[in-house]
Structure 1
Amino acid sequence: MEDEEQEVTEEEEDTTNPQPGGGTAERPPEDDTEPGSDEEEARVDRSNPDVLETVEEAETQADLPEDTEQLREPQTENIGNSTATVKVVLVPEGHVMTVAFAIGLSVQELKSHLASELRVPVEVLQVSLDSRVVEERQSLMELGVRPHGSIRMEMSSTDPTTHPLRPLRPPEHDNMPDVITVRVPTGDGEFQEVVVEIERPPHQKAFMGGYRHRLTGAEYHHAAVQTLPKRRPDRGVVVFSRDTQTVELKSQAQQCPVNVSTQMTGIGCYVSCINDKLVAPGNYISADECHDRRLRAVICLQSYARRWLARQEVERLRRERERRLAWMELQDRRRREEREEQLRDRRQRWMNPQRREDFNLLYRALEKWRCEEEQTINSSLCGSERKAALCLLLEQEAQLIATIGRHRIAVHNNNYDKTIRKFLDKCGAPHQWRAADGRLIEMDTQHTIRARELRDLYASVNEFTAAEEQRLHVLMTLKHTVKEHECQLTRDIVDLIDREVDLMTRGVKAARLEGLRRRICTLFLQYIKTPAFNPEVAKLLKVPQNPSKLRSDMFLCRSCHRYLRSSDFSSAASARLSARCLDCAGLDNIARSRDEFSCYKNILKRLRADEQQLNEDAKIPFLLQVEDLRYLVRVVWASCSALNASTDLYNLVFVRWERKRDWSPWNCILLSKEETSAHMEVQDVHKAYEATFVRRIEHKHMLARRHFSQIPVMAEYLDSQPSAALGNQLVSKPVTMTAKHAADTTPALAR
């Protein structure tokens, strides 16, 4: 025991380090004793004799009288050696460092101690108290710090960029305080509180094992002791024996339980055999038999696994097949609905035609009926009967044409009012434009307001079923409106208004005034269409107000011999402006060919939509017109599909021949809607199709190239295309106007 006490004393002396303030640093014990407990007080009492001396000196000084001059100087020295708690706040991080420091030392020594702790030069440290810089020669006693008291000071760095103030170990990583207060008995049952600073050694604690969480991977280590391990005295001899591994040797007998013992039936002892089991040895299994059984088990498992995989694959193929069949059924239903919608639309256009295309459809149906009847008559009759049947057919055709003409006149009259209302609405519409944020901005001017007033007045004048008083009020308003401008047109309108007012006052019936009222409406509409009276209408007039523009935009129609504007002629890329006008072409179509272009219009519309999705900069499909596409379908592709020879024009579409190149008349193919999806998946047409089919398609491309190369606007895109597969590819040039054509048009313009 004496040896052990000696070892503990030596170890405590080794762990005690002198501090700058003259105090001692001590580690807390390994156990969980409270800082204020008696054991800790006793341990501190045994291990810190300097603290006891300080306490005794303080008690002695307290017992001496204050007026003793001889003892005043030693008392000052003892007070200077007393320690106090100094809390230093590191600016601007806000970390707090707590140290026990002698109040008799200067601020310079405090800075030196803290500089070594923070590992920064002492010259960059600056200590301040209450926002006032403290001089280095001042001591803590001069700053008002009392023994065993506390003070809070701020410390900053004059060069925070190069030497920032950061503690080597953040305080949140420590669970133990830096300074503890210990109560030390001084005698007579009294205690004195002594401040003790805890020293933190720089060495790393030994790893003593731990645990790891299987789910989160977090590691939990065993806690290490806070004191240094005890140093055992070196005996000079290395001992490896049982004595060094066993704490205590003891011999003890061990008795097994009864239920694990074995007892045999004998004389005087009966053991029941009810719970006994008879175990018979089995057959011996060799290694080959064991491996063979394992192989059969593996084969069985593989067979079941492959069966499961095969079922999964078959199920996947079945789902793919069902999805494919559903998609094909959906496509067929969509095509069927689209075809039925086209038939309903055509039937509606037959029964109630409203546009020029609708009447062309009627004339086309009439021509088809006439051809069928004529073929039937020629095949079944002959001689005079044939001539009589043909005359009857001619009369029926004339009656049907007259019926269509009357219906066309009625539709034109009905559409006239709609056209006028739409024209007046465009005149009175406000100016619109898009702002930078996408909002639609509308602006009204005095001209748009004037146009709306004239539109409303025209609607009131055109209302013939109004009451007499209301009609008189409308006529007076119209009279005052047109009298603002003095001209022959306004004078005629005023005369007609006065005549209607006079007849109404005489009691003339409204049915007899219908012609007069229509004359007033016609003249007022002419008044509205005059830019001098309605400036907003100038932008909607077909005839320009500038005579120079009108002269350069007039062309002669070879059929009706009238000078018309360019908008009255066909806008096809291959058409000439000096040919027939639209009215003459429509009249010739009604009288002779009776063609219907709605199917070609649908093909062109579908082509433009598809190319717009594939390439937003596509231009060639938008340069072609319905007449150009009609030539391409009828002449080049013979109005049938290139694969299955389908002749249903409502089911044919144009797609790219080579999908990587833009669409053009020399890079296209005419297919049915069912064949387009399969063709668009072809990567290389020369590998997917036969050579004969490829040569036939390239021949059609050569015909289209030869035709469209004569058009200057198409020749520009023709030259920019890459070389074709054919060796005799045409290199076209823009066609210029010949001298004869110029000579023909010059006199016409002069006239």
Structure 2
Amino acid sequence: MSEEGRHAEGGVKYEEKEEEEEEVDNTTPGGSTAGEPPEDDREPGSDGQEVGSGGRSASDRESESEASDAEQLQEAQEAEHAEDVQVTEAGADTDLPNDNAKTHKELQETENAGSSTATVKVALVPEGHVMTVAFPIGLSIQELKRHLASELRVPAEVLQLSLDGRVVEEQQSLMELGVRPHSSTRMEMNSTDPSFHPLRPLRLLEQDSMPDVITVQVQTGEGLLKQVVVEMERPRQQKAFLGGYRHRLTGVEYHHAPTQTPAKKRPDRGVEVFSRSTQLAKTQAQQCPVDASTQMTGIGCYVSCMNDKLVTPGKYVTADEYQESRLRAVMCLQSHVRRWLATQRVDQLRRERARRLVWLEMNERRRIEEKEEQLRDRRRRWRNPQTREDFNLMYQALEKWRREEEQQINASLTGTERRAALCSLLDQETKLIAAIGRYRIAFQSNNYDKMIKSFLDKTAAPYQWRAADGRLIQMETPQTIRAKQLRDLYDDISRLTVSQEQRLRALMAVKDTVKEHECQLTQDIIDLIDREVDLMARRFKAENLEGLRRRICTLFLQFIKLPEFNPEVAKVLKVPQSPSQLKNNLLLCHSCHRYLRSTDFDVSATGQKSSRCRHCAQLDNIGRTRDDFSCYKNILRRLRAEELQLNKEAKIPFILQVEDMKYLVDTIWASRSALNKDSDLDNLVFLRWDRLRDWSPWNCILLSKQETSAHLKVEDIHKTYGTPFICQVEYKHSRGRQHFSQIPVIAELLNS
């Protein structure tokens, strides 16, 4: 390739030695090639011989040359127009006064000079390579550093420029350093961190000898020439060979070169826009993969028939036969597919059956475990009763045993033997009742200390309430502080295993506290304390002082329970201290004929209080019916919890009491499940009959725990259950509505 062709392609911006600025005169617009032959050397018509496989015709080349000439002519006209505008502005400035015109002209010249460019040759130290760049003299050295850093691919902070041996500041411009427009200057550049960021050229001189900057003379008007500094841009990749021409006389090759401006890259939209599949639904090659030929024996040509094969025609298949064979093949395929589908379905049913059997076994195991846990809990309550319900359970078991024995005696014995057996049964029942009574007395004595501690904690508890933000606020008053001090004193004197010094200290504290109030009770407490102190001084044993210490604790507890000495105890005492409250809040018990507070009587759902107090009702239950209400309490508690989750505004489950639930279970639903007739009360629960409405005695059903999950999945009751069963449930609903409509609150809900 000739020197002119290399110049057209461009090269790297580095020179091994400093070269003078190269000037290329291009007075004729449209000279886009690296070198043009003289017009005399060209032959008309076909003088230009095209080289390369991609050559074009002469008419195409002429049209491209004309287009290129038109573009350059348009650029020259725009430059000329810009100069005319500047000249017009300069002429308009002459109309101003002399000083103003002069000042305006100087400012305009300064601005034009700042936008002019100069050739800057930068020598890389210590490599010695020279970079040439056309740079506006009005910009700062910092901008020049950034430009050079992008070319060398190093940070701009490590670059240091110097002019005539002194470092140049970044804020200064080339104009301030004395560089004139369209002139050249030489500067040196080194790296402040040569170990990590050395200055190396990207392309060496031997790779490309194209200069970095050229000066081109452009014809702008009528005989006017303008020098334009052009900076050569280096290609980022090897340019493709596009063909060209070779001069017939000189032998110089001229290559087609693309423009140096890179094409605008289209943004990637994430989808394939140009695809062959959008135009071709099916691609199939039509050319045979192997070329073949045939030859037959003829005149002057012999072809051997040693490898020939005899081909006989087969049976002709009609269209109906072909369709029948296809039908048989389709039927065979369908039979195998249907067999496979049937096998898959059978396997699925088998797996579902196995899962259901496992589920049923697990539920049965859980039901047995729950039943065993209930029996263990019941036996534990029989052996060690702790609550009133535990004793009721013992009496219920006693009554059940008595009835079974009585039925057996009546069925097997008669006459004198029957009466003797009944008397023996009565004696056994009496002994069992006495044993249960002893358990009850022992339980009350064991819980006496717990009751006293709970009573004192209630009197010393601070006032509490919830703030608007949900925080719990506690407030201590002088009365609560007094109650807390008395509680601590009672705890100190009620301890048995303490040393003699601690006991004396506690007694002195109690004596100082009661000494503040003069009455017979405080005098008795002081006398007993002095007696114990005297006996302790005589070294009496602690076992001999146990009765005296119990008397001191009892009297001091009486002192604490008096509102005169402990005001906070008034809110805990059962008997109010105000006579007006005592008169309005007392009721007569018709069994024991005592006047008691209203809180000692049970309240039914109808709002009427019972004529017997709780103590008499409990004694009557122990002596007569011996019922256990714990099962009904559990049913009511579970019903309230479930309804509270479904509807927080539910009212009826919280209005009904344990006695009402007992009537609903025993009388209306006969103490058994509506479906499987299970009579175990511990396994029965109440659910909604129609799950879209709130629970009520006329919208409920009694089922076992195993049936609840199936009933909750019912969407339409009339499609799931039979008509006879629905009629039975609705009859029980009508009985519940008739009974509980007597309660005023429930009647209002029923009418609404």
Give the shorter-chain TM-score range: 0.5 to 0.7
| Contact 2:215–2:227 (Cα < 8 Å) also in 1 | yes
Question: Where in structure 2 are the equivalents of 1:301-340 lying within 5 Å?
Answer: 301-340=333-372
**Residue in 2 that maps onto 1:707:** 739
Correspondence 1:593 to 2:561: no
**Residue in 2 that maps onto 1:565:** 597
**1:415 Cα deviation after fit:** 1.1
| Contact 1:433–1:441 (Cα < 8 Å) also in 2 | yes
Correspondence 1:367 to 2:399: yes
Question: Where in structure 2 are the equivalents of 1:103-182 lying within 5 Å?
Answer: 105=85, 140-141=108-109, 143=111, 145=113, 148-149=116-117, 150=136
**1:297 Cα deviation after fit:** 4.0
**1:633 Cα deviation after fit:** 1.5
**Residue in 2 that maps onto 1:511:** 543
Name the CA shift for 1:279/1:579 in 2 (closer, same or farther; >3 Å).
farther
Secondary structure in 2 matching 1:457 = helix
**1:195 Cα deviation after fit:** 5.9
Higher relative contact order (CA 8 A, sep 6+): 2
C-alpha separation in 1, matches of 2:404 and 2:372: 25
**Residue in 2 that maps onto 1:75:** none
C-alpha separation in 2, matches of 1:449 and 1:582: 35
Secondary structure in 2 matching 1:560 = coil
Correspondence 1:283 to 2:314: yes
C-alpha separation in 2, matches of 1:103 and 1:533: 114
Name the CA shift for 1:410/1:432 in 2 (closer, same or farther; >3 Å).
same
The one-letter code of the counterpart of 2:494 is N
Question: Where in structure 2 are the equivalents of 1:328-727 lying within 5 Å?
Answer: 328-432=360-464, 444=476, 446-574=478-606, 576-577=608-609, 579-720=611-752
The one-letter code of the counterpart of 2:229 is V
Secondary structure in 1 matching 2:706 = helix
C-alpha separation in 2, matches of 1:481 and 1:568: 35
Provide TM-score, normalisation by structure 2: 0.62
What do the CA deviations read for 1:52-85 (whole angstroms, capped 9, x no partner)?
xxxxxxxxxxxxxxxxxxxxxxxxxxxxxxxxx9
The one-letter code of the counterpart of 2:113 is V
Moved more, 480-489 or 557-566: 480-489
Secondary structure in 1 matching 2:109 = coil
**How many residues align structurally?**
542
Name the CA shift for 1:327/1:107 in 2 (closer, same or farther; >3 Å).
farther
Name the CA shift for 1:101/1:329 in 2 (closer, same or farther; >3 Å).
farther
Name the CA shift for 1:326/1:436 in 2 (closer, same or farther; >3 Å).
farther
What do the CA deviations read for 1:531-569 (whole angstroms, capped 9, x no partner)?
444444444333344443333222111111111112111
| Contact 1:108–1:137 (Cα < 8 Å) also in 2 | no
1:46 to 28, 33, 57: 28
The one-letter code of the counterpart of 1:46 is T
Secondary structure in 2 matching 1:642 = coil
Name the CA shift for 1:475/1:614 in 2 (closer, same or farther; >3 Å).
same
| Contact 1:211–1:220 (Cα < 8 Å) also in 2 | no
What do the CA deviations read for 1:595-653 (whole angstroms, capped 9, x no partner)?
11111111112222222222222111111111111111222222222333332222222
C-alpha separation in 2, matches of 1:466 and 1:714: 60
| Contact 1:107–1:140 (Cα < 8 Å) also in 2 | no
Name the CA shift for 1:43/1:104 in 2 (closer, same or farther; >3 Å).
closer
What are structure 1's unaligned runs of at least 5 residues? 1-30, 50-84, 86-97, 111-134, 154-179, 199-207, 222-257, 721-751
**Residue in 2 that maps onto 1:131:** none
Secondary structure in 1 matching 2:596 = strand
Secondary structure in 2 matching 1:706 = helix
**1:148 Cα deviation after fit:** 4.1
**Residue in 1 that maps onto 2:253:** none
**1:372 Cα deviation after fit:** 1.7
**Residue in 1 that maps onto 2:215:** 183
Name the CA shift for 1:422/1:138 in 2 (closer, same or farther; >3 Å).
farther
C-alpha separation in 2, matches of 1:338 and 1:413: 34
Secondary structure in 2 matching 1:670 = strand
What do the CA deviations read for 1:110-161 (whole angstroms, capped 9, x no partner)?
9xxxxxxxxxxxxxxxxxxxxxxxx9999742635268445879xxxxxxxx
**Residue in 1 that maps onto 2:229:** 194
Question: Where in structure 2 are the equivalents of 1:77-92 lying within 5 Å?
Answer: none
The one-letter code of the counterpart of 1:519 is R
**1:346 Cα deviation after fit:** 0.9
The one-letter code of the counterpart of 2:613 is C
**Residue in 2 that maps onto 1:28:** none
C-alpha separation in 1, matches of 2:80 and 2:420: 138
C-alpha separation in 2, matches of 1:108 and 1:299: 97
C-alpha separation in 2, matches of 1:270 and 1:43: 78
C-alpha separation in 2, matches of 1:589 and 1:457: 41
Secondary structure in 2 matching 1:372 = helix
**Residue in 2 that maps onto 1:63:** none
Name the CA shift for 1:677/1:142 in 2 (closer, same or farther; >3 Å).
closer
Secondary structure in 2 matching 1:512 = coil
Name the CA shift for 1:299/1:535 in 2 (closer, same or farther; >3 Å).
farther
Moved more, 406-415 or 528-537: 528-537
The one-letter code of the counterpart of 1:145 is A
Root-mean-square deviation (CA), in Å?
Answer: 4.6
C-alpha separation in 1, matches of 2:267 and 2:310: 46
C-alpha separation in 2, matches of 1:455 and 1:99: 108
C-alpha separation in 1, matches of 2:639 and 2:485: 44
**1:347 Cα deviation after fit:** 0.9
C-alpha separation in 2, matches of 1:658 and 1:516: 67
C-alpha separation in 2, matches of 1:294 and 1:421: 96
**Residue in 2 that maps onto 1:164:** none
Sequence identity (%) = 59
Name the CA shift for 1:437/1:315 in 2 (closer, same or farther; >3 Å).
farther
| Contact 2:24–2:215 (Cα < 8 Å) also in 1 | no
C-alpha separation in 2, matches of 1:414 and 1:636: 42
| Contact 1:104–1:139 (Cα < 8 Å) also in 2 | no
**1:409 Cα deviation after fit:** 0.3
**1:380 Cα deviation after fit:** 2.3
What do the CA deviations read for 1:682-734 (whole angstroms, capped 9, x no partner)?
344344444443333333222222222222222222222xxxxxxxxxxxxxx
C-alpha separation in 2, matches of 1:308 and 1:403: 74
What are structure 2's unaligned runs of at least 5 residues? 1-7, 15-21, 32-74, 91-102, 118-135, 140-211, 219-225, 234-262, 277-289
Name the CA shift for 1:219/1:183 in 2 (closer, same or farther; >3 Å).
farther
C-alpha separation in 1, matches of 2:386 and 2:618: 16
The one-letter code of the counterpart of 1:194 is V
C-alpha separation in 1, matches of 2:506 and 2:82: 112
C-alpha separation in 2, matches of 1:369 and 1:306: 66
C-alpha separation in 2, matches of 1:108 and 1:374: 137
What do the CA deviations read for 1:333-390 (whole angstroms, capped 9, x no partner)?
2222222211111111111111111111111111111122222222222222222222
| Contact 1:100–1:197 (Cα < 8 Å) also in 2 | no
